[in-house]
Amino acid sequence: MSADDGPREKRSSAGGEAPETARPLASIVRGEAIRADAEERIKPDPARVAAGWDRRFVIERARVADFVALYEESGFEVAVDPVAPELLEDECADCALVARLDYVQVYVRKRD
């Protein structure tokens, strides 16, 4: 049995493109990659950090409610702030897109 005898991924006949069922997943993965890259290039709010808050992530406002509930149930205070233009790196086009698409930064800190 050779290494080539293992399971094979089905490919379309159109030059190795992803099958129809994989295309929605591919767009989600691309979107998450852009968000993750932008998250690294959006600076945390220095005032929040100085007040003891820890930025966890940047996410679409529409998805944030579930994460807020999860952190609160886990004993954290949660703050959700819009991505402020002054926190963007000058050369980060994806960051500007993230800010314009109504993304927010999620900060947490342990309750006293």
Check whether 77 has a pLDDT greater than 70.
yes
**SS3 label, residue 76:** strand
Residue 2 lies in a domain: no
Number of domains in the chain: 1
Distance CA 55, CA 103 (A): 14
Q: What is the span of the domain harbouring residue 73?
A: 44-112
Of residues 54 and 112, more confidence is placed in 54
Q: Is 16 domain-assigned?
A: no
Q: What tokens appear for 19 in the block?
A: 């099958």
Q: Tally the C-alpha atoms within 13 A of residue 87's C-alpha that lie toward its C-beta.
A: 22
Does the CA dihedral 55-57-60-65 come out positive or negative? negative
pLDDT in tens, 26-69: 767 776 776 666 667 788 999 999 999 999 988 888 889 999 99
Inside any domain, residue 90: yes
In this prediction, residue 67 carries a pLDDT of 94
The reply to whether 106 falls in a domain is yes
Whole-model pTM? 0.64
Residue bearing the bigger pLDDT, 72 or 36: 72
